[in-house]
Amino acid sequence: MPGTAPDRVGRNGSGRLARGAVLGVQAARIVFPPADRAEIAAAVTGMLATGQLTLGPYTKQFEAAFAAAHDSPHAVAVASGTAALEISLRAVGVDGRDVIVPANTFYATAAAILRAGGRPVFADIDAATFALSPDTITAALTPDTAAVVLVHIAGLITPHVDEIKLLCEQRGVALVEDAAHAHGATYDGRFAGSFGTAAAFSFYPTKVVTSGEGGMIATASAELADEARIYRDQGKGAFSANHHVRLGYAWRLSEQNAVTGLVHLRRMDEFITRRREVAARYDKALAGLDGLEPLSEPAGCRGNIYKYIVLLPPGADRAWFKQELAAKHDVRLAGEVYDMPLHHQPVLAEFAGGTLPVAEGMCARHVCLPVHSDMRDDEVDQVLTAVAAVHEALTRSPGSAAAGV
């Protein structure tokens, strides 16, 4: 349980490391309490006995539970978050057309656009939210824009989400949410996944809810949900039929993954509560450290703290900052969101366009402190002590820190 005595770390009575002890704070921890592991193992044993290994009852239960947890009329489980994005984009129709995407997202967001036949148009972001804004979308619109992909980076929902939705409606452009980071996050009491025509969630292991691998499409449209079910199973017109009506793919979620996600999803509220407690402690402590700026949660947003973002002073050497934390304090930071903007990714060079100064600056300047769904208070203390010490070194000698010395 959060904040209680450690059960996996520390020294025994003689001062030696207990068996299985792990020192330091890791970048991420995947949390499946023993009862959940046993429940998943029993379910897998059952499905191995029956042979119902794909598109079976656990997939249906996972979809229903995910939809209920996000107030979404429909949810369709698929093999990955990338598949959820590609299917959503295929369903709204982007083939041969432009799709606006923020520069500071994961490669998969752009890859899904390309695979759905669209052309990514990279847009700048709002520094306060790490998300697209109505202004940056307007600057990137072309006469041939088919869709905008709004990414809820770090599990934060921009307070401009309603304006963005309206802008898209007025321009006749589809809004698709990349909600890979945003399980259970809300704005104004409305869940991630409820703003766009379709939303894509990821269950990659480090996400707040995981199924091992997996993804989910949330939508209010029964028609889009039906299309998504066709796409995920090779574009087949019906489960047992052999006629293919869409260019689908092998995007089914296995039953093993589905039951893993179903059991994990039950912990979502508990996990988010603990992550928010950790973030509140970080907020309070970092307020006293000049030059380090935690990204504030926008008014009206209740994020899931998938990532806790801190901006370093301009010019500070991020690699040095991370190395000091790891080498001297045994604290490993989580991966950035993201360190290289998409228009600088070699494989996307032909879509690069011009500079996007805000996204470039934010990508270069931020770090993500570790947040685990069961993070203990002593681990939070260790992170804060470490950050204060490295901040002190940075303040004493900003020149050497900037030079990476």
Ligand X SMILES: Cc1ncc(COP(=O)(O)O)c(C=O)c1O
What residues numbered 209-228 form the site for ligand X, per CB under 6 A? Answer: 215
Nearest to 174 by CA among 148, 151, 195, 199: 148
**260 lines the binding site for ligand X (CB under 6 A):** no
Would you state the structure tokens that stand for residue 106, as one six-digit string? 């994961």
For residues 23 and 386, is the Cβ–Cβ distance under 8 A? no
Instruction: Report in angstroms how near the CB of residue 88 gets to ligand X at its nearest.
Output: 11
**109 lines the binding site for ligand X (CB under 6 A):** yes
Please identify, using beta-carbon distances, which residue of 105 and 133 lies nearer to ligand X.
105
**Which residue's entry shows tokens 């040095």?**
320
**208 lines the binding site for ligand X (CB under 6 A):** no
Please identify, using beta-carbon distances, which residue of 62 and 320 lies nearer to ligand X.
62
Instruction: Report in angstroms how near the CB of residue 107 gets to ligand X at its nearest.
Output: 8
Give pairs for 293-298: CB < 8 Å, separation 24+. Answer: 295/128, 295/130, 295/154, 295/156, 295/366, 296/128, 297/156, 298/128, 298/129, 298/156, 298/157, 298/158, 298/159, 298/187
The CA radius of gyration of the chain, in Å to the nearest whole number, is 22
**Which residue's entry shows tokens 């209010």?**
220
Residue from 80, 145, 194, 211 in contact with ligand X (CB under 6 A): 80
Measured between alpha carbons, how far is 293 from 334 in angstroms, rounded to an integer? 17
Which listed range, 19-27, 65-73, 79-87, 96-104, lies at the site for ligand X (CB under 6 A)?
79-87
Please identify, using beta-carbon distances, which residue of 77 and 380 lies nearer to ligand X.
77
Measured between alpha carbons, how far is 295 from 7 in angstroms, rounded to an integer? 32
**334 lines the binding site for ligand X (CB under 6 A):** no
Please identify, using beta-carbon distances, which residue of 105 and 158 lies nearer to ligand X.
105
Beta strands in 152-231 (DSSP E): 174-178, 186-187, 190-191, 198-202, 215-219
Residue 273 three-state SS: helix
CA–chain centroid gap for 368, Å, is 13
Measured between alpha carbons, how far is 352 from 159 in angstroms, rounded to an integer? 28
Which listed range, 13-21, 69-77, 103-111, 255-263, lies at the site for ligand X (CB under 6 A)?
103-111
Residue from 89, 148, 168, 180 in contact with ligand X (CB under 6 A): 180
Residue from 82, 129, 186, 219 in contact with ligand X (CB under 6 A): 82
Which listed range, 154-162, 176-184, 237-245, 320-328, lies at the site for ligand X (CB under 6 A)?
176-184
Number of residues that bind ligand X (CB under 6 A): 14
Instruction: Report in angstroms how near the CB of residue 185 gets to ligand X at its nearest.
Output: 13
Please identify, using beta-carbon distances, which residue of 83 and 316 lies nearer to ligand X.
83
The residue of the chain with the least Cβ separation from ligand X equals 81
The binding site for ligand X (CB under 6 A) comprises: 80-82, 105-106, 108-109, 151, 178, 180-181, 202, 204, 215
